[in-house]
Amino acid sequence: MKLYYFSEMPHHEYPDAEGEKYPSLRLEFPNRFFDREKAHANYQRYLTEYELADQVGFDGLMVNEHHSTPSCVNVGVNMSAAILARTTQRAKILLLGNILPIEENPVRLAEQIAMADLISGGRVLSGFVRGVGVEQWWSNVNPIHNRERFEECHDLILKCWTEPGPFRWEGRHYHFRHVNPWCLPLQTPHPPIWIPGTASPETAIWAGRRGYTFVPFLVPFEIARELFDYYRKGAAEAGRTVTPDKLGFLICAVTADTRAKALEAGRHFVWRMGPTLRGPVEFFSPVGMRSRAGTQFALKARPRSLGSMSYEDLVAGHFIIAGTPDEVADRFALVQRELGIGHLLLEAQESRMDHPTTMRSIELMGAKVIPAIAPL
Amino acid sequence: MRPMKPREERIRVGGIDVHTWIGGDGPPLLVLHGAGGNRGFTRWLERVAQRYTVWAPTHPGFGLSGDAEWMDGIDDLARFHLWFMDAAGLERPHVLGHSIGGWTAAEMATMSPGSIDSLILVVPAGLKPETGEILDVFYYPPPQLVPMMVHDPKTVPEWDALFGTPLSPAQQEIAVRNREMTARLTWKPYMHDPRLAHFLPRITNRTLILWGREDRVVPVECGEQYRRLVPRATLTVLEQCGHLPPIEQPDEFARHVLDFLGGDGRR
């Protein structure tokens, strides 16, 4: 099983009491609490941590993108991927991902991902996501069109990568009369495509039909298995066999020299489960963004919100894994047995977890955990 | 007043079944509902139907009407309802529209003023306020939004009947449909069309604009803007009234409508 390092590049640099005064940290919490100097220093440390993860043997470095929120100030997944393409040598660079429905120019996206792939020597794994509702508000793209735009944007990017230009694209949402990108990915026919899932059966089926790698995020095991079943259904429709390298899973994880230290560090993940997800349902799932089936599945997938769970509940449910290297290796092996996955994505830094703690966790993962689980 | 029973019909327009309430007696009056959907013959409409034959279609994508996922804006809806008038055989009806229905009515009149007799625009969206903002109705959960629609729920005679009971699953599905179609039509530019102001001077029809002074959704300044732009428009502002004048002050509202149309029974 392959391990991936991931940080949301949080900006938890304000008094929590201030954040609590607002209905949500997303969209509503005023950016006068953004600290420019700390952000400068944080970007440096976060990138250093990614570079160490590459050096110690992580199979991949995952980056993501959000907007209008202190929970993630990585505001450009292709920008951070381009930096890592140049400053790291070995690990895959997993963009998970570009938020297709809010993109106005899929051709530009195809070019940027290609450029990161070229600079990195063909290490890009290109994730495509539908995004959370907050990004619909941020971009002001009509959430009614979320799925249509996701699919059309995807189709145009794939055409850019696989069919010679120049060509014309006249779709429902995208219109380009002269498409001929002079920047194509190093990997042929194109970088592997990854798709995350939290609550949408349609997305799982869609990914399965196309043979993309499918990665549920932070859901209970039984929900992940159910999503994988939808994925397999889609794969079967297309006559595909599903191997473990098509399945991944994302959890939060940290290790340290002692169990006590690891458990203390793991508490930093609670912030991303609760405070950063607090807010009206309209912020996260605006009108029309989810199908009726998706809405029904979302209710089932989250019988309890992550925010309502205690740290102990989150650890017991394997949403957070924190322990000595041996302990986390055992837990990762358990996740692998439970889900039959080939990729485990670790959200490995959060909130105010400091630089030395993060660096030590990365070192220990490289020295003890990765060798233990690589053969699985 | 004599109680009258409206009927429901499905009228096919452009391949879409349009659920329509029809009732009353007299010259035709086309009534176009707002984002909350077609509430049928509520109190104000029963009064108006004493003097006019009311045709109240449910917009495509709303309520019990068929889908129109290809529509992108209120101008599409306006063209559709001009077509609906043909399909229903309505000749120069009076047209009354509320909120996004008012915006639709205004667009229809800019497209084909000769097809319409008098025009009544009730708190129409469609124009960008010069100083304020139109409330972002999609940003708030519906239970929080409903009280913001009116000046004071306690003064609304039909409040309990319309908003007082939990929605059945079928009603809930309709509420979601209504909200989705409203988003489809009005998301961006939000609740207005920058081109509309340039076309409004074409409206030669007698026009009544009705507004609630305390409207928290579309500010009353938009009523002034409409009045300035539509050549034969008068603006009447109801005091202690919000965004739902037909529901908040049904008797007063019906009286204004009947007075304007000249059918208040005083003849």
CB contact under 8 A, A282 and B141: yes
Q: Is residue B79 part of a domain?
A: yes
Question: What's the Cα-to-Cα distance from A87 to each of A51, A55, A73, A121, rounded to whole Å?
Answer: 7, 11, 20, 12
Percent of chain B at pLDDT exceeding 90: 93
For A314, the token pair is 């989150």
What is the rounded distance in angstroms from the CA atom of residue A50 to the CA atom of residue B238? 63
Q: Which structural domain, as residue segments, surrounds residue B170?
A: 7-261
Host H or E run for residue A252: strand A248-255
Least CB–CB distance from B183: residue in A137, A280, A287: A287
Q: Is residue B1 part of a domain?
A: no
Q: Is residue B267 part of a domain?
A: no
pLDDT at A293: 77
Q: Which amino acid is at A8?
A: E
Q: Is residue B28 part of a domain?
A: yes
CB contact under 8 A, B141 and A288: no
CATH, residue A353: 3.20.20.30
What average pLDDT is seen over chain A?
Answer: 96
Q: Which structural domain, as residue segments, surrounds residue A263?
A: 2-373
Number of domains, chain A = 1
Average pLDDT rounded to a whole number, residues A336-351: 98
CB contacts of B145 in chain A (<8 Å) are none
Q: Looking at chain A, which residue has its C-alpha nearest residue B187? A: A142
A263-278 pLDDT per residue, tens: 999 999 999 999 999 9
Residue A90: phi and psi, rounded to 5, are -125, -45
pLDDT at B264: 41
What average pLDDT is seen over chain B?
Answer: 95
Q: Is residue B266 part of a domain?
A: no
CB contact under 8 A, A144 and B140: no
A284-297 pLDDT per residue, tens: 999 999 888 787 88
ipTM: 0.94
Q: Looking at chain B, which residue has its C-alpha nearest residue A283? A: B139
Give B17's contacts (C-beta < 8 A, 6+ positions apart): B10, B11, B65, B66
Number of domains, chain B = 1
B173-215 pLDDT per residue, tens: 999 999 999 999 999 999 999 999 999 999 999 999 999 999 9
For the cut 90, the answer to whether the pLDDT of residue A232 exceeds it is yes
Q: Is residue B157 part of a domain?
A: yes
For the cut 70, the answer to whether the pLDDT of residue B265 exceeds it is no
C-beta of residue A179 within 8 angstroms of C-beta of residue A157: no
In the structure, what pLDDT confidence band is assigned to residue B266 with cuts at 50, 70 and 90?
A: very low
A54-113 pLDDT per residue, tens: 999 999 999 999 999 999 999 999 999 999 999 999 999 999 999 999 999 999 999 999
CATH, residue B65: 3.40.50.1820
Q: What is the pTM of this model?
A: 0.96
The Cα of B112 is separated from the nearest Cα of chain A by a number of Å equal to: 28
Residue A174: phi and psi, rounded to 5, are -125, 135
Least CB–CB distance from B188: residue in A142, A282, A288: A142
Instruction: Pick the closest to residue A96 from A261, A264, A212, A10 (CA basis).
Output: A212
The Cα of A183 is separated from the nearest Cα of chain B by a number of Å equal to: 33
Terminal CA-CA length for chain B: 17
Secondary structure (DSSP) of A346-361: EEEE-TT--HHHHHHH
